């Protein structure tokens, strides 16, 4: 596989991983000069006592929690980001702590834009956001192991008026510190453990087949796949398995680091589209589309995709030593289908509320999603529509 001729690699976030590391979050916030913190979360996380655990951890430093914004829904939207920013301003916050899944962390990342620029979030949409002032400290505590949002450069925010998902992107939006504490993920129910875990797997695989892939990300993604293969079924079966939860947090973070630098492709483009138009949860959409997207990409032999997927098969723990690239790749795809079944995830888009007469509309959105441009080749409208039909 030809390597991209020129690349940059960065991990702007400091990453801390340990059981009960949130107990020292106040000390970490003090180190990055935050003193008046707005805690951003959702009601489910708050009810599970996870927000309180983080508030208690603030006592380890000379910082004050000036407010709690708990109104983030599963797929955050532009209006919620505006409200989050208003909560930060009215409480005089100079920093943010986000405790939750990707939606919560992305809300805080987008609120950071407004803390710097003010005004309307939609005014700050561009291919790459360049801050016009100092970036406020933001510590992210993920309560799911999937998006890797605690270290990624992007915030995905729904625009309900346009029925689209907007992507705000900049290395400056990566949280200042990511605290990976398995104890805050043990209450995550099995179905969310499954769908968010497959999102992490999709990040690793898409970073590998992306046009922008490069050796550093390849290594991170392949090891991420290995950790997911060993720990996702364990975390699904026993949520209190701290070792499995830790490995899932790490692999999700590695997937996030890999795809922030190498980007993702057709699977995410198609998942964003069905999420934006019909509210299909991101991880579920990825779980359904991942095997189909991989099968589609097998045609890019010159780009080395079957060889890449042979490496995926090896990381999944399959014995493919004597197989040619395509045979090994197909074994990896079948293994992922079986993993989805084992995790109780749906297999078809028709099972999760996508209407058949919506297929053309989601194809239109997928074709203009930024992720599509990083996929190998240049998938045509009819090919993508056909792929949606197969997954339907
Ligand atoms: Fe994703």
Task: Tell me the pLDDT tens digit for each residue of 17-43.
Answer: 999 999 999 999 999 999 999 999 999
Give the closest residue to 332 by CA, choosing from 191, 239, 222: 222
Distance in Å, CA 147 to ligand 1 centroid? 5
Query: Which percentage of the chain shows pLDDT scores above 70?
Result: 99
Outline which parts of the chain fall under CATH 3.40.50.1970. 14-184
Ion ligand 1 contact residues with beta carbon within 5 A = 199
| Mean of the per-residue pLDDT values of the chain | 96
Question: pLDDT tens across 38-71, in order?
Answer: 999 999 999 999 999 999 999 999 999 999 999 9
CA diameter of the chain: 64
Distance in Å, CA 196 to ligand 1 centroid? 8
Radius of gyration of the chain from its Cα atoms, rounded to whole angstroms? 20
Q: Which fold has domain 14-184?
A: Rossmann fold (3.40.50)
What is the distance, to the nearest Å, from the Cα of residue 74 to the centroid of all Cα atoms in its chain?
13
126 pLDDT higher than 90: no
> What is the band of 129 on the pLDDT scale with cuts at 50, 70, 90?
very high
Question: Stretch 251-270: mean pLDDT, rounded?
Answer: 97
Distance in Å, CA 267 to ligand 1 centroid? 9
Which tokens go with 146?
């999937």
Q: 98 pairs with which residues across the strands?
A: 40, 140
Q: What pLDDT is stored for residue 251 in this prediction?
A: 98
Q: What pLDDT is stored for residue 21 in this prediction?
A: 98
Question: pLDDT tens across 175-194, in order?
Answer: 999 999 999 999 999 999 99
Q: Identify the three-state secondary structure at position 10.
A: coil
Question: Stretch 197-220: mean pLDDT, rounded?
Answer: 97
Outline which parts of the chain fall under CATH 1.20.1090.10. 190-391
Is 267 in contact with 289 (CB distance < 8 Å)?
yes
Distance CA 74, CA 190 (A): 17
**Which overall architecture, per CATH, does domain 190-391 show?**
Up-down Bundle (1.20)
Question: pLDDT tens across 261-319, in order?
Answer: 999 999 999 999 999 889 899 999 999 999 999 999 999 999 999 999 999 999 999 99
Distance in Å, CA 383 to ligand 1 centroid? 22
Question: Stretch 204-223: mean pLDDT, rounded?
Answer: 97
Distance in Å, CA 144 to ligand 1 centroid? 12
Q: In this structure, is the dihedral angle defined by the CA atoms of residues 10, 13, 14 and 17, taken in order, positive or negative?
A: negative
Q: What pLDDT is stored for residue 313 in this prediction?
A: 98
Distance in Å, CA 5 to ligand 1 centroid? 26
Distance in Å, CA 285 to ligand 1 centroid? 9
Tell me which H or E stretch contains 135.
none
356 pLDDT higher than 80: yes
Q: What pLDDT is stored for residue 2 in this prediction?
A: 61
Buried b (16+ CB within 10 A) or exposed e, 79-114: ebbbbbbebbeebebbbbbbbbbbbbbbbbbbbbbb
> What is the band of 1 on the pLDDT scale with cuts at 50, 70, 90?
low
Q: What pLDDT is stored for residue 161 in this prediction?
A: 87
Q: What pLDDT is stored for residue 276 in this prediction?
A: 84
Which tokens go with 185?
């993920």
Distance in Å, CA 102 to ligand 1 centroid? 9
Which string of DSSP letters, residue by residue, matches 351-384? GGT--GGGHHHHHHHHHHSGGGGGSSS---HHHH
Distance in Å, CA 149 to ligand 1 centroid? 9
Distance in Å, CA 348 to ligand 1 centroid? 18
Distance in Å, CA 284 to ligand 1 centroid? 10
Distance in Å, CA 347 to ligand 1 centroid? 18
51 burial (CB, 10 Å; 0-12 / 13-18 / 19+) is buried
Distance CA 134, CA 379 (A): 40
Give the closest residue to 38 by CA, choosing from 22, 19, 24, 58: 58
3 pLDDT higher than 70: no
Query: Which percentage of the chain shows pLDDT scores above 90?
Result: 92
Question: pLDDT tens across 130-176, in order?
Answer: 999 999 999 999 999 999 999 999 999 988 888 777 889 999 999 99
């Amino acid at each position: 596989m030809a390597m991209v001729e020129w690349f940059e690699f960065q991990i702007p976030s400091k990453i801390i991983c340990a059981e009960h590391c949130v107990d020292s979050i106040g000390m970490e916030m003090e180190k990055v000069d935050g003193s008046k913190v707005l805690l951003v979360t959702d009601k489910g996380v708050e009810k599970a006592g996870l927000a309180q655990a983080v508030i208690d951890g603030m006592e380890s430093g000379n910082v004050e929690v000036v407010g709690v914004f708990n109104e983030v829904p599963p797929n955050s939207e532009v209006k919620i980001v505006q409200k989050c920013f208003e909560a930060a301003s009215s409480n005089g916050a100079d920093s943010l702590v986000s405790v939750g899944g990707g939606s919560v962390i992305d809300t805080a990342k987008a609120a950071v834009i407004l803390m710097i620029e003010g005004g309307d979030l939609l005014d700050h949409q561009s291919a790459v956001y360049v801050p016009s002032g100092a970036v406020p400290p933001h510590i992210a505590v993920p309560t799911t192991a999937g998006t890797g949002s605690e270290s990624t450069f992007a915030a995905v925010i729904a625009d309900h008026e346009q029925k689209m998902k907007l992507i705000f992107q900049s290395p400056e939006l990566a949280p200042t510190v990511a605290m990976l504490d398995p104890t805050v993920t043990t209450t995550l129910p099995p179905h969310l453990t499954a769908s968010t875990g497959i999102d992490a797997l999709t990040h690793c695989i898409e970073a590998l087949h992306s046009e922008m892939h490069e050796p550093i990300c390849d290594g991170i993604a392949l090891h991420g796949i290995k950790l997911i293969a060993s720990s996702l079924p364990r975390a699904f079966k026993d949520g209190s398995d701290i070792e499995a939860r830790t490995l899932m947090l790490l692999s999700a973070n590695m997937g996030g680091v890999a795809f922030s630098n190498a980007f993702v492709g057709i699977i995410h483009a198609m998942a964003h589209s069905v999420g934006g138009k019909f509210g299909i949860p991101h991880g579920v959409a990825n779980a359904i589309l991942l095997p189909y997207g991989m099968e589609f990409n097998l045609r890019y032999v010159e780009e080395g995709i079957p060889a890449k997927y042979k490496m995926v098969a090896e990381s999944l723990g399959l014995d493919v030593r004597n197989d040619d690239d395509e045979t090994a790749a197909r074994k990896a795809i079948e293994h992922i289908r079986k993993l989805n079944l084992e995790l109780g995830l749906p297999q078809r888009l028709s099972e999760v509320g996508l209407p058949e007469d919506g297929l053309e509309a989601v194809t239109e959105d997928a074709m203009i999603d930024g992720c599509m441009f990083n996929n190998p080749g240049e998938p045509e409208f009819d090919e993508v529509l056909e792929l949606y039909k197969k997954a339907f």
